[in-house]
Chain A
């Protein structure tokens, strides 16, 4: 048994390049439940991050009583991380689950029933449609529902109501991944595979604290690092993360300066001749422009702007430029920062320059944050058209119109999809009058919370659908109790395109219903019709919706036609595209160097990365991309809010390994709650010293938007940077939410809000009486002189680990062939 709060990544199972990652089956059962007591194991996958670890849910007496990793699954080879082990099933079992719909009566939310609650929603919805039309409706959904739920919601929004105002909180976590792939490759769709970790010689993590965001993926990297031919590791992150501890080169850049670094790395590749000229000539466009833009960015210029050592920039470039097989991963340090899309395209550029896409060990993983974010994007619940279709391409719109049998003009393609922050702006201005929020908590997770509370508390008719009461349900007119993971059936897709089925294991509590049932009920009551007057939506079960989605995906990059519920039961998840041509799924995209940039196929005609100006369809056609990828670069611009005398520190938000989002589930698992019970801020040793702040002292951090008052952790990050975890909200007490301080600003292309750049001031309020509650196991590890007891889970957190009980699985074996 292993204490998996203390040992976050569990026992090492080292392996060499080109070997398969050994299996280790992790299992946890509730106290007092032995394996023999389990009535049945129900197949699923974890929904507490984007990794999508295959697991089985233990059921006893109609309740979830534990989990076990699936040895056959190609994503996790049996492993689970702390969130999956402790949070997944316990997070569903809180005694305070919502079990009845709530409606607002005389200012108070009171228990009600489905007919009353849905009756109110439909009444308001119909009245608004009659009086103000479809643009009065907005939908803000999640990255945590299932594929079937997003597709149903997408069809309701696009073919039923006809509103462009639909987005997911994926806008906050993964919009830049999609945007960067659209800009570089013509379409969303992950080029790389997790298998590339097994095959690479170097791994570069760009703003990606993988040890805390996807612990099981990091375990795979750690096992390569512990193996006989360790890959070289480059870390780009201002904090002293676990990645940094293992890195050959750690570039602790000033937050907000990624684009300068990316331009500098591209310049090194070009100047040192680390370029695959033949590949670039055959498969890319834009080399001359790239060369011109990056030319000023000598290692010294990068060093100056980013605050790193020029020699380190050269060393990082050398690893990227000379390793035989390079894998890159990108996440929030890039996506939620200044010039997000440009910098993320900068990573794609390096791979295109070296011709390292679509080959074993050579890949890009533009990561997702949430478990089902990929589906939000694919199915159109983030506003994009389903199946990676291009809203500016009339043929793509016609395809959907035929599929749904509606007038093409009903489908909102006459304006770009409205991104989340703009939806909230329209709510603020009063032109969106009904906002439907599902499975997300904007009252904690969005920037500049004081403003968000005003918006949610305004005149809008707010429908909130969730598992628990949250900071957001407080403002709702109608609260709908949702069934969640283990209580409903559906599929979802992880970062490397692997599709999993999650079967229903238990009944939802009380009257709670699956999000799909709620959406379908709304559609039925609204009586949406197609162009022949027949009901637009006739589905009653998730599997029917899945089949409809398969048709929608047919022939597109995300082709699901070869995947069925039956095929997913029993085995591993399967990576799309999966069709007649790729019957076992597809390990990597673009092995042939042909990208979906053809004007008739592409998902987007692209943007100017500095302004977000769209490229005109005719201008795009004139480029004649013909399957070539785009090398895109823009100059570095300083962030819009830089430190000054009043606010001398750079501020960044982020996460800790033990929690997910606003802790809706993870706070309800006692092991996780104890490991990271409350908010803190991190200061560097030198900064703390200068301000006379000791470990655990209470400090006030102030920005132009607001303030938080929390204990300080003296940690190992770069000087001048203050970090706060974003998991804590005001239901934990006032002045804790990291987003009190962030700004309302977003990337011009991906529209992802900027959470990693703001200017703040720090003051000591009083001495603390204990160390800060920050975990000691990860990036928040103490670095100051104070003694801080280590984060442990004790007997409560002991997990069974069974090493190498069976041979490791392989992805799409026929295709891989190696």
Chain B
């Protein structure tokens, strides 16, 4: 069964996403909405990570062979500057967030197949928050795009 691999993957991706949100929050501190909201969203990711921990333990640890590095999604390495930099950073986080979002979906399918009510409970508490994160990133990028791409020097 490969679900434990995916659970580990998801938990790790939430940690990475939390880190990326924090990085954007700090790197773009002059954008107050981005700054405060990314911190809030990072805390959501932390909570997701925590909620997954007992599930991951229940399904058992995986070996590095089961969970190869290439499956992992990369976080933001460093933040860029300026209006286009903000847009690009949000885009990077967006890619990561959509990865997390679809991973929740994939895991949900498996949890249903296994009739794992506890896991479905965890998913129910977390995946809609991830979708909202994705939606917020889209909203914020749509707002930023015209000015960044047309008017900013």
Contact = CB atoms under 8 A, between A and B. Distances in A.
Say whether A and B bind each other: yes
Given A429-B83, A610-B132, A614-B139, A136 B151 contact: yes
Q: Which of B39, B136, B145, B153 has the most CB of A within 10 A?
A: B136
A748 B33 contact: yes
B102 to A, nearest CB: 17
A746 interface: yes
Contacts of A746: 32-33
Contacts, number: 76
Interface in A731-748: 743-746, 748
Nearest to B83: A429
A415 interface: yes
Nearest to A412: B146
A612 B135 CA distance: 9
A637 interface: yes
Interface string A580-600: 000000000000000000000
A99 B101 CA distance: 61
Contacts of B73: none
B96 interface: no
B151 A133 contact: yes
Interface in B113-153: 132-133, 135-136, 138-139, 142-143, 145-147, 150-153
B57 interface: no
B98 interface: no
Q: Main SS of the interface on chain A?
A: loop
Contacts of A818: none
B36 interface: yes
Interface in B4-51: 30-33, 36-37, 39-41
A638 to B, nearest CB: 10
Interface in A323-366: none
A613 B132 contact: yes
A743 B138 CA distance: 26
B8 to A, nearest CB: 28
Contact of B152 (A421, A431, A616, A745): A431
A611 B133 contact: yes
Nearest to A637: B40
Contact of B145 (A415, A426, A614): A415
A814 interface: no
A164 B145 CA distance: 13
A611 B136 contact: yes
Nearest to A425: B31
Contacts of B151: 132-133, 135-136, 426, 431-432
Interface in A176-191: none
Contacts of A614: 135, 138-139
Contacts of B83: 429, 431
26 contacts: A132-B151, A133-B150, A136-B151, A415-B145, A416-B139, A416-B142, A416-B143, A418-B147, A422-B143, A426-B151, A428-B30, A429-B152, A430-B152, A430-B153, A431-B153, A608-B136, A610-B40, A611-B136, A612-B33, A613-B132, A613-B135, A614-B139, A640-B39, A745-B32, A748-B33, A748-B37
Given A430-B152, A745-B33, 11 more contacts: A135-B147, A421-B32, A422-B143, A426-B151, A431-B152, A431-B153, A432-B151, A611-B37, A611-B40, A611-B132, A614-B138
Top 5 closest pairs, chain A to chain B, by CB: A135-B151, A613-B136, A613-B135, A611-B136, A431-B151
